[in-house]
Amino acid sequence: MFQLLELPYLGAIRKLFFSLDIRHESQTQTRDVSRRSSYESSSSLPSDISSVSEEASQQELIKLVLVDLFDKFGYPYDTVAYDWDLHNLCYEECKRMGYPCDKSPPKGVKTVYKYLPAGVCLATTSYGHLKDRDLQKYIALFTTLLFYVDDEYVGDTTGVEMFGRCLMLGLPQQHKVLDSLADFLKGTYSHYQGPVADIIMTSALNNVASMVVENKMDGVELHPQARRFSTFLKVLSGNAEAYSMFVFPPEIPIEEYIQILPELVTFINAICDVLSFHKEELAGETINFISTQAKVRQKSKLQVLKELADDVFECHQRILRVLSEKDPRVKVWYEEFARGCFFFHTSLDMRYRLSDLFPLKPNAGLYAKEK
């Protein structure tokens, strides 16, 4: 049974601020998964992680939880080399569409380019199984632009409140950043059709709306009886519905996978919490799911991390049971996506810092530089 996933989701504040030292080059580095297991095999951890060793450091215990999770899924600790070809395609598309993409903008000016590595990395790890390069480019830019808008409007949502209205009525947005996002989202229907496209659009609009809600809720104390509000806000801001739809090629009928959507949304949100925990601890963050659940449930954060990791695997198993009765290809696509979720976090190391726990060679993942 789930230990945490069906409880109120208390951590609702996003942390999307990061910058990667990635150079734009003409040479291409293709997708390359290095099959390397850099951790020792482990048996399942006991339910109470505190019983493992009183002398173990926090990093050692976090590593034990992650090793246990990798082992349950049957994944080695791998990285995916940065895809410079997709990077260049996205960069050229931004220039063609007139999106702000200066590689060296003036001081204080934000640019799409800052967030492009995250979008490219996500598109080639979690969605590396997609063969349509245009779809991967769409997913990369979808991620890049929403991260960009979220960063641009931290603490000041002037203009964002009108985003949905202006988009629906075809009116100019109040900022070039928002014009870029609106223009891009209109292209969704060139890649996806029917309810799939509508869910993607709704997810993106909810993500933008959540920026306004979070801004208005800043400093507001949450009533103890508003138990599901934080869950609602997390789902609103997470974009997990859109990322669930991206898992499957557009030509696949939605009825083949729609029943797993609630589980898949939960899986996406939860796996991100587990694999982000180490970098959040390094940053001293306390407003996140694991930290707040530890306070509410009077448990250690490491114990909550362990329980949430167990829930992630149970959620994965539920999805597989449903898909076992569907088109076999759908199950394969999901399994490739799930594997890619792990590799996204290991490959985007300058953000998630997992190489602190699992040392990698300098040429792994986004450390890879072109000669």
Residue 155 pLDDT exceeds 60: yes
pLDDT of res. 51: 60
Backbone φ and ψ of 171, nearest 5°: -90, 155
- Write down the mean pLDDT value for the chain: 83
Query: Do 187 and 144 touch, CB atoms closer than 8 A?
Result: no
Mean pLDDT for 234-243 is 88
- Give the residue with greater pLDDT, 20 vs 263: 263
| Residue 95 clears pLDDT 90, i.e. is over it | yes
More confident residue, 135 or 227: 135
What pLDDT band is residue 48 in, cutting at 50, 70 and 90?
low
On the question of pLDDT at 362 being above 90, the answer is no
Give the per-residue pLDDT at 98: 93
Residue 55 has pLDDT above 70, yes or no: no
What pLDDT does 53 receive?
56
Res 129 pLDDT > 60: yes
Rounded Cα distance, 365 and 353, in Å: 12
Between residues 234 and 350, the one the model is more confident about: 350
Q: How far apart are CA 315 and CA 211, in angstroms?
A: 28
Residues paired with 33 in a beta bridge: 80
Per-residue pLDDT, 227: 63
Q: Which of 370, 357, 363, 362 is nearest to 66 (CA)?
A: 357
Domains annotated on the chain, with CATH: 49-367 (1.10.600.10)
pLDDT at 54: 60
> Quick one: pLDDT at residue 140?
98
